[in-house]
Every structure is written in C-alpha cells, then in structure tokens.
Structure 1
Amino acid sequence: MAAPEGKLKAGRRPNRRGEASRKRVLDVALRLLASGGPEAVSVKLIAKEADVTWGTVQYQFGDADGFWAAAILHILDTAGPRVWAHPLAGSVEGRVAEVIDLLWKAFDSPYNAVVTNLRASLAKDRIELERSYPRTAEALDALEDNWLKQFREFFDGVTVDPGTPAKSARCCPQRFGASTPSVVSGRTSISMTPLPAFARRSPFT
C-alpha cells in the first residue's frame, strides 16, 4: 500500500530530521487511536505522547484536519502485508478462501480500530465530517479506494466469471471501520459452506 501523492499530503514538506519527527508523531497517533477510546482522538494528547509541541504539529500538518488526514494516509504507508497479501491459490475457490481470511485479519487489525475510533469521534455523519474535516474525509476515501482496488486485483491471473469479483466484493463492507465483519460469512453466494474454522469465530468478542 502507498499513500497517494498530491493535495492529500498534509502540511509542509519536512527535511530528513523533520521526516523522522513526522513519522514518530504518526506512529504514536496510530498506536493511541488503536488502543484508546474517544479520548485518544486528541491532537494535543498525541503531541504530548510523541514529545513534540503543538507548534511542531501545526508546522508539519497545518491543523487538526491535516493531522487526522495524515494519520489515515499513514495506514497506507505502514499497513502492507499486515492487512493484505498477494494471493497464493490458483483457483477461484482458493482465492475466495484467502480473501475471507484476509478480511478477518483486516477487521482484527489495529488499523481498523484506528479508523473506527476516528469515524465515531470526529463527526456523527458523513455530511458533518466533510464540513468539519474535509481533508480527513478525502483521506478516508483514498483509503477505501485503495482497499477496494487491491481487493479486485486479488482475482487477477485466474479465469473467473466477470461477475465473480463483484460478488466477492460484497464480502467486505464499503470501508474500514465497520462495526462487524458478519458480511464475510453470509452475504455472498460464493462464500464457503460449511464455514472454515477462522470464519466461525469473531475477533470482536
């Protein structure tokens, strides 16, 4: 996964020392957002934990909206194989089984907790999010687009009915931050019967 270039990149372009500081702040942000509740959605708290000043955060990210957008894009820079992987199976059935397993890992990952926490804490709905945190909303869209793109590409190299990837895509919610992965086990006609062992457990219990 790689963060998109261009207008989504928040704040100033730092030098090498600034890059290290910026990465440290974003790493702390992901750790706190993944492990904490709504109280963790605080730029000042994250800055304090990262041992930087609010002025440093403003210089590097612009404002709170720029900071949350950068934190979300940092997922694209760091998630990698912890959330996704290259397919191994050569059959459609094997790819579907691998996708379901990857979805469970994604839902159970700290990155999903980060997005869930931000979505729940920053705004009550999409309209409010776009109004109050437009760059954050745009970064969430970029994350979703990247997620779905990699999902579709997972079926490259195997001969499938044109509708199969679309049916499989219904296995996953439209974005990170979904409250439950129950769709994995029941919303598509090509899901496995009986369910494999990993799909009979819930990472949220």
Structure 2
Amino acid sequence: MPQPLENPETSRSTDGRLARGEATRDRVLDAAERCFAANGFAAVTIRQIAREAGVTLGVVGFHGGSKDELFGTVLARRTDTLNALRTEALAELKAGGAFTIRDLVDAYLAPYLQIASRGDPQWRAYAQLIARIVSDDQYYPQVRDLYDPVARTYIDEIRRLRPAASAEALATVLTLTVSSMLSIVASRVRIEGLSGKPAGDSPLDYRTILVDFCTGGIEKALPPNEAS
C-alpha cells in the first residue's frame, strides 16, 4: 500500500521547532554553567539560572530537570568531549607501538589544555566550575562516573609500565597530575607574581613544563621496574 507523502511544510515546521528547542536547551545549560562556576552549586537557584538564560522557570525545568539533574548534565556534556579526546589520544599511542609515561601524561593532559585555551567563555566557565568543586568531597559522587572510567584506563597503562606500583600510588599520582593541570588552567597570576614576568596567554603555553613536571613526579614516586 503506498505511503502518504510527507508534507514539506510540516517537516520544515517540525525541524524548526526541534532546532529552537535545542538552542533553548543549550542556552539553559550555558547559563547554569556560568552560574555554578561563579557562585558554586549550593548558592545558585533555578530562578537565577532562568534569569541568566532569559527564560521562564518552567523552561529551565523542562530542559534541565531539578537543580541536581541540571548540574549533572552541565558536567556530563563537557566530560563526553574530554573523554572522547583522551580515549582517541590513548588509542593513537597504543597503535604506534611502545610509549612512555610522559607520552601517557601528555595524552591525558593535552586535550583539556587545548580546549581551555580556545578562548570559549563557556569552557572557561567549566574550568572555573571544576576548579571550584574538585577539592570538595561532596561532589565526588557526581563526577566519579563521568571521569573515573577513562582515568582508570590510563592508570592501567601506567601500571603496565610500572607493574610494581600499588593501586594507591597509581591513583595518587594521577590525582596530583590532574590537580596540577587544573591549577594551571584556573589561574596563572601567581606565576606572574613570583616570576615578575607576564604569565603565558593560555594554559597551553605551559604544556611542556606541566607534562615534564608531572612525568618527573610520577617516575620518581612509582617503584622502578626490576630490570631497570
């Protein structure tokens, strides 16, 4: 039986509504990201997010759900991008044959540094938000499932290079590495103050020294291979 022809006008109307809905959702998420970054999760209200986004309370609820759900969505949409880039970087390393701890450190840190250096105000807000919550244990359950799976794949690769290292030592060196990265991204004003010279324009300017610093710490902290 022949299928009825699709009405082009109806199709365009539907596409238009979907596009407007996606644009509104992005506006809500962007506004929430800025609010959470500037004031912290506890201090932000849905009303503030609605005002920042220029929408009604109902629109925020429709696109974001509760404040907890909205917070999780704000974190997840950035993490998806980072996880994909880090996974791709690791796959390239493994496809190329032998690699070092420094290669792993660079593959893990570089995507975040590159994104944070683009000048996108929303990614700057995200970096500010992560710097705010990373030292507060209450937020770990919300970020654990977002960040830890890919982090564990990198830990597994470091363990292959240093098989005598304990699980605690491996987790510690990765955590300290991430802390160093977040510090460089969040602010470089103290570097300028202590050095008496202008700081780099972007986090990516510190890629080499950051990777060298973290690699040196990891290699010193973990027990060497027996063959070394």
TM-score after normalising by structure 1? 0.53
- How far off is 1:39 after superposition? 9.1
Cα separation, partners in 2 of 1:177 and 1:105, compared to 1, 3 Å: same
Cα separation, partners in 2 of 1:172 and 1:147, compared to 1, 3 Å: same
State the match for 2:97 in structure 1: 90
In 2, Cα distance between equivalents of 1:160 and 1:151: 11
Cα separation, partners in 2 of 1:188 and 1:30, compared to 1, 3 Å: same
- How far off is 1:81 after superposition? 5.9
In 1, Cα distance between equivalents of 2:43 and 2:82: 20
2:175 is matched with which residue: 167, 173, 176?
173
Structure 2 counterparts to residues 1-205 of structure 1, below 5 A: 16=18, 17-31=20-34, 33=36, 36=38, 38=40, 42=44, 43-79=46-82, 85-87=88-90, 88=93, 90-93=97-100, 96-105=101-110, 108=113, 109=116, 110=124, 111-118=126-133, 126=137, 129=138, 138-152=141-155, 155=157, 160=161, 162-163=163-164, 170-173=172-175, 180=183, 184-189=214-219
Cα separation, partners in 2 of 1:33 and 1:140, compared to 1, 3 Å: same
Cα separation, partners in 2 of 1:48 and 1:18, compared to 1, 3 Å: same
Give the % identical residues.
Answer: 23
- How far off is 1:86 after superposition? 1.3
In 1, Cα distance between equivalents of 2:146 and 2:56: 28
Amino acid at match of 1:47: A
Check the 8 A contact 1:83/1:102 in 2, yes or no: yes
What's the CA shift string for 1:7-35, capped at 9, x where partnerless?
xxxxxxxx94544422332234335555x
In 1, Cα distance between equivalents of 2:148 and 2:79: 11
In 2, Cα distance between equivalents of 1:18 and 1:52: 12
In 1, Cα distance between equivalents of 2:87 and 2:22: 26
In 2, Cα distance between equivalents of 1:175 and 1:58: 37
What SS does the aligned partner of 2:130 have?
helix
- Which segments of 5 or more consecutive residues in structure 2 lack a partner in the other structure? 1-16, 117-123, 185-209, 222-228
Instruction: Report how many aligned residue pairs link the two structures.
Output: 160
- How far off is 1:70 after superposition? 1.5
In 1, Cα distance between equivalents of 2:147 and 2:176: 7
Cα separation, partners in 2 of 1:176 and 1:160, compared to 1, 3 Å: closer
Looking at both structures, which has the greater relative contact order when contacts are Cα pairs under 8 Å and sequence separation is at least 6? Answer: 1
Q: Going by fraction, where is helix more abundant, 1 or 2?
A: 2
RMSD between superposed Cα atoms in Å: 4.4
Amino acid at match of 2:77: H
What SS does the aligned partner of 2:173 have?
coil
- Which segments of 5 or more consecutive residues in structure 1 lack a partner in the other structure? 1-14, 130-135, 192-205
TM-score after normalising by structure 2? 0.49
Cα separation, partners in 2 of 1:103 and 1:165, compared to 1, 3 Å: farther
Cα separation, partners in 2 of 1:175 and 1:186, compared to 1, 3 Å: closer
What SS does the aligned partner of 2:174 have?
coil
- How far off is 1:173 after superposition? 0.8
Amino acid at match of 2:131: T
